Structure 1
């Protein structure tokens, strides 16, 4: 099991979860952040600092956002297990599902 970032994160620029993550396993896409499921140890440090309540333990994900479990995992298909987002920096890309979403906020 892992933590997953869902729809409320899309087009939000806050990165408090990245700063709080002791394992550096939250990566920056173009429009949202993603948790690398193989690097996450389920510590939960990221969840309480998320200002839009977008982070859920996989088993607690609301039904309407369950597909974000796959979205987060599939984001790393080409990126792999880099061993920390600081090594990678902003990726400049998103999962195709996220890329296809309409803007979610005025800041997009």
Structure 2
């Protein structure tokens, strides 16, 4: 199980500072931060600590297990962002 960021993300960076393993991207300063629609959690790096979820000011981060049926695409969306990193 991992956490995922949903489409309601507003690019608030509170979750970035809260993450102890630095698995949320893009970060300010990354080339794609200014054009990103949302932030993404790397499922290969996430340690399921819940820190990002607690820090998110708009509840845009949820446990993969607790996603309602209409949001089951978000684990793949988050993982897809990191496909080029893990090749």
Please say whether Structure 1 and Structure 2 have the same fold, judged by a TM-score greater than 0.5.
yes
* Bigger Rg over Cα: 1
Q: Distance in 2 between matches of 1:74 and 1:57?
A: 17
2:22 matched to 1:7? no
Match of 1:67 among 50, 55, 73: 73
Unaligned runs of 5+ in 1: 82-108
- TM norm structure 1: 0.68
- TM norm structure 2: 0.83
Contact 1:2 1:41 in 2 (8 A): yes
Kindly tell me the number of residue pairs found equivalent between the two proteins.
Answer: 79
Q: Distance in 1 between matches of 2:67 and 2:57?
A: 17
Output one character per residue of 1:24-82: Cα deviation in whole Å (capped at 9) or x when no partner. Answer: 1111151210000010010010101111111011101122211011101111111228x
